[in-house]
Structure 1
Amino acid sequence: MVVLKVSLKATMNARIIGNGEDTVILAHGFGGDQSIWEKILPSLTQRYRVLVFDWNFSGACKDSKAYDALKYSSLDVFANDLIDLVDELKLRDAILVGHSMSAMIGCLASIKRPDLFKKLVLVGGSPRYINCEGYEGGFEKSDVEQIFLNIETNFIAWASYFSTLVVDSNDPFSVEKFSKSLGRMRPEVALSVAKTIFCSDFRDCLDKVRVPCTIIQTTNDIVVPISVVQYMEKKIKGDVTVEIVEGDGHFPMLTNENLLLDVFDKVLKSDAY
């Protein structure tokens, strides 16, 4: 019996755009899809080969069976998918830009296969979201349980409300864009992924990251407080720098794209990497 290997390039709507010697991989977070990078793509594709894709939980993923809640109960499995996609496309020494959950996915992938990445750019990432003794992750356990309940009971209303919290409310167009992207997720998938994210704890993995990292954080992010950035900077044993982007919200690629591009220019051109 011949088992045909599934093409992740097709399943994940992966495409490579632009020109340049270096390859930049843009990995979106929960509720998003590759369209969240649209404002910065024109600039990046002038100088780099850029890989964009949709995670299988995304509403943009055409294969409704691609996401299996039991299988994807850990970000570690997403890291395996990222590795398999990069291998399938025969990429090496790429620059991974991971937003939110994809920041930790990138860290996990780099631990397994450091040959694939020469730099990690972690935008709004966190190894743990729930507060515990000696650690401020930004959420109490009761907060997270309420999120799960709201997704389960009235997903559409929650998606609209959540979007106003995590995207700068002074930019209603971007709020609406993310709200529509989030709302395209199947409710049961959104609940499963939310549990995978908010119940995760990868603090013990940070000291295993050896690929050079830049952590990018907005000044006021309701999802990831500055305390998490400080914790990550301290725990990552490899080369790590922190860049703070002025602005509110968890999505600087939507609401602070020019400032974010300025940071990218600084980070991606740095001779230190």
Structure 2
Amino acid sequence: MVLEKTLSTAMNAKIVGSGGEAVVLAHGYGGDQSVWDKILPYLSQHYRVLVFDWPFSGAVNNKDGDNLKLFDPAGKYSSYDAFALDLIALLDEFNLKSTVFVGHSMSGMIGCIASVKRPDLFNSLILIGASPRYINTDDYEGGFEMSDITQIISAIESNYHNWAANFATLAVDTNDPPSVEKFAKCLQRMRPEVALALAKTVFYSDHRDVIDKVSTPCTIVSTSSDMAAPKTVAFYMQKKMKENSNVEIMNTNGHFPQLTAHLELLDVLGKVLGLKFDHDP
């Protein structure tokens, strides 16, 4: 008989640090909680910080196909709603309310969806490189043409590990080779069939109708040049949100400022949190 894991155990969830307020760090496609390693020591000096791995992550135990049991490529995770429900269940398990949610990439929209379902769990949202839709339309600039996405999906299908190495170079600032290598290794730990199914979920998603339902105060963080989520997306999201939203443009490049420009990102977080982080924790 297989013992049922709690969600927090299955997702390698843990709370680091102490304090009255809680910060939640949620990684994006291809990553795991280690992408927050550079900023975690600073945040944990002031807050209880929840970090975890999404079920698709290569950091989740793959023994005997556990990862596939958690993340059924053809199952519930074909939409962001399932991830949002997992996030809600995880916060409930830790009895966390009024959190500061920091969501990177796809997790930004997951946090938005969760906040609409359970606004009591979120005091503020900080969305880094988030996008409600990646494909351009006549009245929306998402950053990719449909043909671009078709090529990405085809490349993942034909040679996932080769695609992962190339995508890491494009997504992360190439002036920071260690960060490129770190993300490439995270990507390559994912099961190819999981990576393919999730890529389809992410790149074909359209959650523009969620944005104007978000009532939680929101800060949308973008870098000067991000191939996955251009600055236009950040300003589109701000315009669609009814109130309590602002955009912060970081003077750096790439989709992973938590890896390549963590001190600048800390300055942005500190501005939102009303706190000045000592850059030498």
TM-score by length of 2: 0.93
Q: Which residue of 2 aligns with 1:131?
A: 136
Q: Distance in 1 between matches of 2:169 and 2:22?
A: 33
Residue identity opposite 2:232 in structure 1? S
Q: Paired residue for 2:72?
A: 68
- Deviation larger for 58-67 or 104-113: 58-67
Q: 2:113 aligns with which of 103, 108, 115?
A: 108
Report the counterpart of residue 85 of structure 2 in structure 1. 80
Note the C-alpha offset of 1:5. Answer: 6.7
Shift of 1:200: 0.5
The aligned counterpart of 2:185 is 180
Equivalence for 2:39: 40
How many angstroms apart in 2 are the aligned matches of 1:239 and 1:231? Answer: 14
Which residue in the other structure is 2:279 paired with? none
Aligned match of 1:59: 58
> Which residue of 2 is the match for residue 21 of structure 1?
20
Q: Give yes or no for the alignment of 1:207 onto 2:212.
A: yes
CA RMSD of aligned residues (A): 1.0
Secondary structure of the corresponding residue to residue 105 of structure 1: helix
d(CA) in 2 for partners of 1:268, 1:66:
34
Runs of 4 or more, structure 1, over 6 Å off, are none
Which residue in the other structure is 1:50 paired with?
A: 49
User: What does the per-residue CA deviation read over 1:235-258, in whole Å, with 9 as the maximum and x for residues that have no partner?
Assistant: 011310111111110000000000
- Specify the code of the residue in structure 2 equivalent to 1:68: D
- Aligned residues between the structures: 267
Residue 265 of structure 2 aligns to a residue whose secondary structure is helix
Using the alignment, how far apart are the partners of 2:243 and 2:202 within structure 1?
24
Please give the alpha-carbon distance, in whole angstroms, between the structure 2 residues aligned to 1:205 and 1:30. Answer: 20
Equivalent residue number for residue 269 of structure 1 = 274
Letter in 2 for 1:8: L
Q: Which amino acid aligns with 1:15?
A: K
1:83 shift after superposition: 0.3
Report how far residue 6 of structure 1 moved: 4.6
Partner secondary structure for residue 76 of structure 1: helix
For 2:130 and 2:243, how far apart are their aligned partners in 1?
Answer: 17
* Partner secondary structure for residue 78 of structure 2: coil
Equivalent position SS for 2:20: coil
Matched residue type, 1:248: N
CA deviation vs aligned residue, 1:108-147 (integer Å, no higher than 9, x gap):
0000000000000000000000001100000000100110
Q: Deviations over 1:9-53 (max 9, x none)?
A: 001000000011110000000000000000001111001100000
Is 2:239 aligned against 1:234? yes
State the partner residue of 2:278: none
AA partner of residue 186 (structure 1): R
Aligned residue type for 1:252: P
Distance 2:60 2:241 in 1: 33
**For the residues of structure 1 that align with 2:15 and 2:30, how far apart are their CA atoms?**
22
Does residue 165 of structure 1 match 2:170? yes
Partner of 1:259: 264
Match of 2:198 among 188, 193, 217: 193
- Flag structure 1 segments of 5+ consecutive residues without an equivalent: none
Q: CA deviation at 1:7?
A: 1.1
Identical columns (%): 60
- For structure 2, the 5+ residue unaligned runs are 276-281
Matched to 1:247, the amino acid is T
What is the one-letter code of the residue matched to 2:102?
V
TM-score (structure 1 length as normaliser): 0.96
